[in-house]
Amino acid sequence: MEVPQNAVATVTLEGLLQHIDGNPLSATFHRCELLPDMVQIYPVKALARNQKPRPGKFRPDGAAPRPPSTLPPPGDMHLNLRLGKFIGDGRSGIVFEAEQLPDAVANSEHAFPPLVVKIVRQERCQSGAREAWFYDHLECLQGVVVPRCYGWFELRLTPEWEVPAWSTYPTSNSRTDAIEGPAEFMSYHISDLREKNLRPSPIMTELAAARDRLFILVMERVGGRFQRQPTYDDSESEPRLSAAYTELAHMGVDMSLDIKGRNVCMAPEAPPGLPSLPSPFTGRTHNIRLIDFELALRTDWSVAVIVSNCESHFGSV
């Protein structure tokens, strides 16, 4: 039976943590709550320059709400994992295959698909939380155009513990969340935000500065990079991309700040992965999975506006 995405309450991960004396430690993580105001709507209304936008630019009813969850009540399952092969990394996280240990699931009638863990960088807790927020907001599109996400988990570090992955896979980007702030505020001048008393929610401010917290995202493992058709017959690639980003647009999510080849993957192969689900909006089944929501925007723009923003970046995929 497919495990509901909210079934896991705790995760033990071997191979991630060590004592400063070099001895390996097993890391136990607890599921974290995601609060509605962790991501705010862009563009920020109080700073809108054009008070009379062109007709059709915004959704008549405001930003798309998160549809009610179709998941059962949260479970109390424990998931036992070991850090596997390194897959890739970026500004915010380091992604590894997650090996499921034999007693991974207390109740063995439940089966997980192949999994990955995204280890959030020490100075990127806010970005990680933002990404986790989008997975939750997009619950109805998990398995459709975004990977199934089994949760956002936290461990509080003590000064005696180390996370070798942080130094083994350093990022060339030295900017931190405390400097950058959440993506919905990035295009505004700090003095304009201050003047209108606009700021991230208290939890996001706290996470931007946090350095003693280790967060992981547990997700289904998707396929390799999106493959364009051979150049002499590439007429299908952009409509497929457009159809995938249109699904996100139905949820008011604009990814146009971060459309690039490494953020567009193929759906997992099923089996061993789980099959693709049809979209609740269009009924369409996609073989694309979109990842990396750190720079995603939650907007109240219309579907057409969001899709057009995204389409202008398909050349970089």
Ligand X SMILES: Nc1ncnc2c1ncn2[C@@H]1O[C@H](COP(=O)(O)OP(=O)(O)OP(=O)(O)O)[C@@H](O)[C@H]1O
State yes or no: residue 145 binds ligand X (CB under 6 A).
no
* Cα within 13 Å of Cα(74), Cβ side: 11
Binding piece for ligand X, criterion CB under 6 A, among 29-37, 62-70, 92-100, 181-189: 92-100
State yes or no: residue 221 binds ligand X (CB under 6 A).
yes
When the beta carbons of 194 and 262 are compared against ligand X, the nearer one is 262
Size of the site for ligand X (CB under 6 A): 19
Query: Which two tokens mark 54?
Result: 């062109």
When the beta carbons of 53 and 275 are compared against ligand X, the nearer one is 275
Q: Which of 42, 274, 252 is nearest to 149 (CA)?
A: 274
Site map (CB under 6 A) of ligand X, residues 52-91, x = contact: -----------------------------------xxxxx
d(CA 246, CA 240): 10
Query: Which two tokens mark 201?
Result: 């929610």
State yes or no: residue 95 binds ligand X (CB under 6 A).
yes
State yes or no: residue 294 binds ligand X (CB under 6 A).
yes
Which of 262, 275, 304, 312 touches ligand X (CB under 6 A)? 262
State yes or no: residue 151 binds ligand X (CB under 6 A).
no
Burial of 267 (C-beta count, 10 Å sphere; 0-12/13-18/19+): buried
Which of 214, 251, 259, 291 touches ligand X (CB under 6 A)? 291
Q: What DSSP string describes 144-204?
A: TTB--EEEEEEEE--TTEE-HHHHHS--S----HHHH--GGGTTS-HHHHHHTT----HHH
State yes or no: residue 292 binds ligand X (CB under 6 A).
yes
State yes or no: residue 123 binds ligand X (CB under 6 A).
no
d(CA 248, CA 145): 8
CB of 57 to ligand X, least distance (A): 28
State yes or no: residue 93 binds ligand X (CB under 6 A).
yes
d(CA 77, CA 67): 25
Q: Which of 257, 255, 317 is nearest to 291 (CA)?
A: 255
List residues forming the annotated binding site: 118
Output the known binding site for ATP.
Answer: 118
Question: Which parts of this chain interact with ligand X (CB under 6 A)?
Answer: 87-93, 95, 116, 118, 147, 219, 221-222, 262-263, 291-292, 294
